[in-house]
Amino acid sequence: MKYIEMIVGSFAAFLTFLAFSGYNILPIVFLIVLISSVYLFSGKAMTKGKNFVLSSKTINQNISFEDIGGQETAKNELSEALDFVKNSDEMKSLGIRPLKGILLNGPPGTGKTLLAKAAAQYTDSVFLSASGSEFVEMYVGVGAKRIRELFAQAKQSAKKQKKLSAVIFIDEMEVLGGKRGNNSHQEHEQTLNELLVQMDGISSNEEVKILIIAATNRVDMLDSALLRPGRFDRLVKVDLPDKKGRVHILKLHMKNKPISDDVSIEKIAKDSFGFSGAQLESVTNEAAIMAMRDGSKEINSDHFHNAIEKVMMGEKLDRVPNMEEKKRIAIHESGHALIGELMFPNSVASVNVASRSNALGYVRQTQQDDIYLYTHEYLKSRISVALAGVIAEEIILKSRSTGGSSDFKHASEMAKQIIYSGMSDLGIISSEDIPKDQVHNMISKILREIENETKEVLCKKKSYLEKMTELLLDKETLSGDEIRILINNQDSSQCA
């Protein structure tokens, strides 16, 4: 850098000297401006290219399949596929074509990156990672160049580290590998074509064998050429963990933390239904932070309880709604909690009216077991729980509020599930061919019926609602047990 500055400085001095000596330096200045702008223009792309090479890190973190909780099916499928890479000589003798690509499909935070790292460790390969968005550029040819650089770097790193194979992990594959078509940009097409060319060039005779592991949550968006045999040959589904998986993940992330004896991992796993691995990691971390704030040497069950609420609903806010609003929120949440407990006994874990970033108030319900199939009755009961908040407002305050809009959205989604599963009065239907207004009318009918039924139930339990609201306004949070005691001891009084 210093030399460049010295050269530029001397050249400027030389030009000044020429100017003073009476030479016309304008053509030279013009030429310099022209050359520098061309250099800067292409340099911008080049610099990005260089950055990219740096950002596609070669990581030697030792992550093995044992460090990944749950995901047993994904791990089995992946290691089975990787055995092809490990036993490549045997494969070659049988004339089996090399495995070039594995596509991991699943929601964010489920451990796809970890699986790719474990795959590199399992096959004793170097590991390079890049994200699909790093290849997206305006200038035609830049993305393709980066793909070539990535493959070249993989080979170089493997040779340097004396390894026989390299795993290239590409996250957000849908960005790089989206469908080509009328609307796609020429740059995008070139980049994707280059990836296909590079993948086609992978052969078992190469000195360094390359395996591409890509991750996406949108397989439907990928160009069909990528999914053709010989490219991404294996599709491995990486789902949200079930309860057993959650227990495993929690245990892994609790390993290095002092956990109090009152903590039940089973209970935390039950309470964190629907959480991804990343969210579970966050729960253990938040719980540890809360213990530190409390000055406690160990992380106890209260810390975990609060950490789950924080990860689910966001940070507690200082924002305090006015008394009238707070009362409405308490009534709304009492409605959800009451119907929730009546429809699914022992399911309510807590009711809160302390505002968090994602909600003004909320009810946390847990499930005894993970459910994979929903019955008609189950969906109807869930809709009833969703509608109960606004209905409670109407029963006690004689008016509704906007607090129910997300509940309605949720309820409509579930009504759609009833319709598309052939459980509505429309019978079995084809979701593509049925007119939209027919679906809309059926959604309205389902919701109206459930709304009336829920109103009837809540009316009969009005005094429960009133008592729960009073307690909530006083304590801000009620546990599931407190709600169950209230329901069992309170005499019901009907709507006027």
Phi and psi at 212, nearest 5°, equal -100, 130
Give the nearer residue to ligand ADP in terms of CB position, either 71 or 153: 71
- C-alpha span between 105 and 147 (Å, rounded): 22
Rank residues 233 and 239 by Cβ distance to ligand ADP and give the closer one. 239
Q: Which of 333, 341, 394, 451 is catalytic?
A: 333
First to last CA, the chain: 84
Residue among 71 and 384 whose Cβ is closer to ligand ADP:
71
Pairing of strands 232-237, 209-216: unpaired
H or E stretch covering 166 = strand 165-171
Q: Pick the closest to residue 19 from 9, 29, 32 (CA basis).
A: 29
Count the residues of the shown chain that bind ligand ADP, applying the rule CB under 6 A.
17
The overall longest dimension of the chain from CA atoms, in Å, is 107
| C-beta closer to ligand ADP: residue 205 or 256 | 256
Cβ 314 to ligand ADP, closest distance in Å?
19
Contact 94, 80 (CB under 8 A): no
Return the residues of window 380-409 that contact ligand ADP according to CB under 6 A: none
Q: How far is CA 72 from the centre of its chain?
A: 19
* Beta carbon of residue 113, minimum distance to ligand ADP (angstroms, whole number): 3
> Count of residues for the chain?
496
Least separation in angstroms between residue 68's CB and ligand ADP is 4
By C-beta, is 215 or 360 nearer to ligand ADP? Answer: 215
How far apart are CB 211 and ligand ADP at their closest, in Å? Answer: 17
Distance, in Å, from the CA atom of 100 to the CA atom of 231, rounded to the nearest integer, reads 6
Q: Cβ-count burial of 416 within 10 angstroms (0-12 exposed, 13-18 middle, 19+ buried)?
A: middle
Q: Using the rule CB under 6 A, is 215 a contact of ligand ADP?
A: yes
Interacting residues with ligand ADP between 404 and 433 (CB under 6 A): none
- Tokens at 358, concatenated: 């994602």
Taking the mean position of all CA atoms in its chain, how far away is CA 122? 25
Site string for ligand ADP, 245-284 (x = CB under 6 A): ----x--x------------------------xx--x---
Residue 70 touching ligand ADP (CB under 6 A)? yes
Task: State how far the Cα of 24 lies from the Cα of 12, in Å rounded to an integer.
Answer: 14
205: phi then psi, degrees, rounded to nearest 5: -90, -10
Q: Is 333 a catalytic residue?
A: yes
> For residue 448, which of 424, 431, 432 has the smallest C-alpha distance?
424
Interface region with ligand ADP, contact rule CB under 6 A, candidates 69-77, 137-145, 306-314, 400-408? 69-77
Residue number with CB closer to ligand ADP (78 or 458): 78
Distance CA 89, CA 184 (A): 41
Nearer to ligand ADP, 241 or 340 (CB): 241
Q: Point out which span in 105-113, 343-351, 391-399, 436-444 binds ligand ADP (CB under 6 A).
A: 105-113
| Helices vs. strands in the chain: H and E counts, helices first | 19, 8
Nearest distance in Å: CB 421, ligand ADP: 29
Q: Minimum distance from CB of 267 to ligand ADP (Å)?
A: 19
Q: Report the alpha-carbon distance of residue 27 to residue 15 in Å, rounded.
A: 12
Nearest-CB residue for ligand ADP: 277
108-127 binders of ligand ADP (CB under 6 A): 108-114
Which residue of 56, 65, 71, 132 would you call a contact of ligand ADP, by CB under 6 A? 71
> C-beta of 119: minimal distance to ligand ADP in Å?
12
Cβ contacts of 142 within 8 Å, gap of 6 or more:
45, 48, 49, 187
Residues 461 and 492: beta-carbon distance below 8 Å: yes
> Is there binding between residue 172 and ligand ADP (CB under 6 A)?
no
* Residues with active-site annotation: 333
Using CB under 6 A, list all residues that contact ligand ADP.
68-71, 108-114, 215, 249, 252, 277-278, 281
